[in-house]
Structure 1
């Protein structure tokens, strides 16, 4: 196994209520990315904020089963966060949240090779300050920084402030990935191509934007790559973006000699994007955020 990744962000319980049935699953975008990296054979730590309660124990067991370790500061005296979806007779869902992002400061980064963050951890007070501090310290020790905003508009109190926070973290990253929905929220009325050009011009080395069944666009410097979605029978789309993110990180830092800081060529963007599309396709073919292993990826698309 290679040098480690440090992921910073929320881990929570997704609770799905259908009639009298209640299904509960560990979730949270950063926690899913940590899971995805560990299943790709990366030593991975997650710095999060979960309670010393039954929900926190469920999350710990779920992550540990794939090799993700939690920082000791991740256990807090607050209840573990939950996102509750109630499914109606017509299949539509309504959501309510019982969550917070108030992680403890992280004492020892251990000089990670990679620092990844995103989602609520990047935007919610008071913990977004802890997130930014870890990113700053990661950059200072030469870590590869990745960022996925994974916006949750219903939980954002100040959209303008969120856009400022996004810009600061994107500019601090080596890789920023957004969905087309993120683009619509953060850059209303602007095209995906405009957003890519703007982020590249601001100094982000690699930008990715996913478009669901339409595939993804990747960019680095003057190079652009249009990545087709991999055809698959869809079980659900939970965790697809997180799989794509984990695969981008893995491909850019492990494959083809890893990350050297130089502009990524068009051919490598295609290779990286194709790997990510394969992993996302495997995930959507399964129920829930069941991210693939390295063996799954090798079986679906042999690595040269």
Structure 2
């Protein structure tokens, strides 16, 4: 059944506290988790969005709920954790982040999809049991009912475990995924002996209508079975890269949802449409890396023009 006039995007996955540790300052707590960051990006860009997640009944959980609500994200009732999940993000002098996790992702009940136009999930919720099986079933149910499905594996090697098992899980799920986004780091970890362009071609054969590969400052590629567009990254000043890929993903979903019928939009992804989607996503990601932590911009055109360091003669 083809759904028309979708009312909102549903994001399913972990919410956690990022403990930002930088060389020049004491550690500070900040909201994080790839699905949460995607939901916040959507809410700030003006897309109606809800999140099905798992948060503890503690001070950190209260802070996450406040963050979601202030970013215009509705919270669907989900499991209550004994302790809100956290990740230590250690930011180096080059702005790149590495992570240490204290996270659990339980199984969630299958949500009502009657008012949902797009379902997004990924990262820890997609790979970590016992919840991963329920997430996979949700994608299948959504896809079969005409809901557009999007996935960002956002691989955390320390949590995923066995690479071969992770690849099998991903490939088994792809027939139920319309839009797949992965970073060059994801591609290298999942398929270490395969060139990135060949990884994209392989994944397209498994079912997605669109595969987007992000390469940080080298830009991104949006590829369908019939066309490919390479989008440069806008110039920006990098404070840190925390949440950049999530902001890119959220902005891509925002562009898809802007169409009255996202599933039919996937049938007409020509070069111009792909370029527009990729350029918008790149601007949002560039604005995000110009601030500390996962802090995507609001839907103010000025906020989507990232600051650039002045040049010196």
CA shift at 1:98, angstroms? 1.4
Distance 1:87 1:59, change over 3 A: same
Equivalent position of 2:309 in the other structure? none
Distance 1:91 1:174, change over 3 A: closer
Match status 1:63 vs 2:68: yes
1:195 is aligned, of 195, 199, 220, to 199
CA shift at 1:298, angstroms? 8.0
For residues 176 and 63 of structure 1, the distance between their equivalents in structure 2, rounded to whole angstroms, comes to 24
2:88 is aligned, of 84, 88, 95, to 84
8 Å contact from structure 1 (residues 240, 283) kept in 2: yes
- Which consecutive unaligned segments of at least 5 residues does structure 2 have? 307-313
Which moved further from structure 2: 50-59 or 199-208? 199-208
For residues 235 and 305 of structure 2, the distance between their equivalents in structure 1, rounded to whole angstroms, comes to 12
CA shift at 1:264, angstroms? 1.1
2:293 is aligned, of 288, 291, 296, to 288
Query: Where does 1:26-37 land on structure 2 (aligned, <5 Å)?
Result: 26-37=31-42
How many residues get paired?
300
Query: Where does 1:193-272 land on structure 2 (aligned, <5 Å)?
Result: 193-255=197-259, 258-260=262-264, 261-272=266-277
Equivalent position of 2:43 in the other structure? 38
Distance 1:232 1:298, change over 3 A: closer
Higher relative CO (CA 8 A, sep ≥ 6), structure 1 or 2? 2
Equivalent position of 2:19 in the other structure? 15
Which moved further from structure 2: 252-261 or 210-219? 252-261
CA shift at 1:256, angstroms? 8.6
8 Å contact from structure 1 (residues 279, 297) kept in 2: no
Equivalent position of 2:175 in the other structure? 171
8 Å contact from structure 2 (residues 149, 176) kept in 1: yes
CA shift at 1:166, angstroms? 1.3
For residues 185 and 91 of structure 2, the distance between their equivalents in structure 1, rounded to whole angstroms, comes to 22
8 Å contact from structure 1 (residues 33, 242) kept in 2: yes
For residues 23 and 182 of structure 1, the distance between their equivalents in structure 2, rounded to whole angstroms, comes to 27
Equivalent position of 1:96 in the other structure? 100
CA shift at 1:189, angstroms? 1.5
CA shift at 1:88, angstroms? 9.1
For residues 184 and 162 of structure 2, the distance between their equivalents in structure 1, rounded to whole angstroms, comes to 20
CA shift at 1:137, angstroms? 2.2
For residues 89 and 251 of structure 1, the distance between their equivalents in structure 2, rounded to whole angstroms, comes to 33
For residues 302 and 70 of structure 2, the distance between their equivalents in structure 1, rounded to whole angstroms, comes to 19
Which moved further from structure 2: 93-102 or 272-281? 93-102
TM-score by length of 2: 0.88
For residues 281 and 235 of structure 1, the distance between their equivalents in structure 2, rounded to whole angstroms, comes to 10
For residues 294 and 259 of structure 1, the distance between their equivalents in structure 2, rounded to whole angstroms, comes to 24
1:127 is aligned, of 131, 134, 138, to 131
Distance 1:263 1:197, change over 3 A: farther
CA shift at 1:111, angstroms? 3.4
8 Å contact from structure 1 (residues 52, 75) kept in 2: no
CA shift at 1:204, angstroms? 1.2
CA RMSD across the alignment: 2.6
CA shift at 1:129, angstroms? 1.5
Match status 1:52 vs 2:27: no
Which moved further from structure 2: 291-300 or 242-251? 291-300
Equivalent position of 1:146 in the other structure? 150
8 Å contact from structure 2 (residues 8, 118) kept in 1: yes
